[in-house]
Amino acid sequence: MSRERVSREERMSEIQEKLETGVREIFESGKYEEYIAAMSKFPHYSINNCILIVSQCPEASHVCGFRKWQTDFNRVVNRNEHGIMIIAPITYKADIEEPVFDSENHPVVDADGKQMTEKVTREFQGFRPAYVFDVSQTSGEPLPTLANMLNDGVDDFEKMRDVLIAISPVPISFEEISGTANGYFSPSGQCIVVRNDMSELQTIKTMIHEIAHATLGHGGKEDKWDRETKEVQAESVAYWVAQMMGLDTSEYSFGYISGWSKDREVSELKENLDLIKTTADKITADLERELSKNVGMTESICEEQAQEKQAARKKTR
């Protein structure tokens, strides 16, 4: 095994330890308890309703009904917003005719020998369309968050951004995004959209996060993971790749991962660690290859320019 490969594996091990320690510290903080107290107020939707929500609003993050936004979160739905339709269970009562039986479960008949019936009120379970709204469709008091936005700059930001665009498995665009989402990967549209007004470090981190979603095939035919697992996977990859690039996204990534995990053990991270590491390693290798290609192109251009200058000098002699 080469010395370079050992060094790379040692670096990956260091990053894994930092990631697990950082996320664990979030769970042990009072900030996490405050966050969970608020998040527990959001309703839990069935898998069918989750599919309905994502199909209508791919960037949805926190969803609940019109009045619940007001009563539990001190937020109001913005004017002219269209609700996201889900199927809500309802209980209703109806009067029906039922046959009458005696105490020994024998049919009770009338003078003509026909079984007697009686009108009874029964409860039935049914379903009806209902409408919910994502946090991006509301205004008011901010929701508690564990992830702090990154505000730092990045050396050679434009080059790094262009290289990420080049290695992305799907096209990336930078647009205005309503609500709180920093970006999203659209499996149906096979594209990535990144918010266009973020800091350099937040932009790079978000690009890697969405590239991870696309690389992992989230939302595709072979996708077998629930949303919590997918978000933990993507953000873990983003943190890992950023660290390999010498960028620290821990202020955002640790809180984001713990916020999406379903338990304090972060089982999504442990169960998918090999996949996360493999994906992070692939994206990092693609980055390094593209960067080295750019360096080679730059050197070639400089060499051509030098030759042109030298030829021009010879002509003037």
* Residues 63-68, mean pLDDT to the nearest whole number: 93
Q: What is the pLDDT of residues 139-184, one digit of tens each?
A: 998 888 888 889 999 999 999 999 999 999 999 999 998 777 899 9
Phi, psi for 120 (deg, rounded to 5): -130, 155
* DSSP strands (E only) in 100-186: 117-134, 138-140, 172-175, 183-186
> For residues 139 and 78, is the Cβ–Cβ distance under 8 A?
yes
What's the pTM?
0.68
DSSP state of 272: T
Task: Please enumerate in sequence order all residues whose Cβ is within 8 A of that of 44, keeping only pairs 6 or more positions apart, or say none.
Answer: none
DSSP state of 158: H
Task: Please enumerate in sequence order all residues whose Cβ is within 8 A of that of 95, keeping only pairs 6 or more positions apart, or say none.
Answer: 119, 120, 121
| Whether residue 298 has pLDDT greater than 50 | no
Which of 110-119, 235-244, 291-300 shows the lowest mean pLDDT across its residues?
Answer: 291-300
Residues of the chain above pLDDT 70, percent: 90
Closest CA to 279 of 216, 232, 220, 227: 216
Q: What is the pLDDT of residues 202-240, one digit of tens each?
A: 999 999 999 999 999 999 888 999 989 999 999 999 999
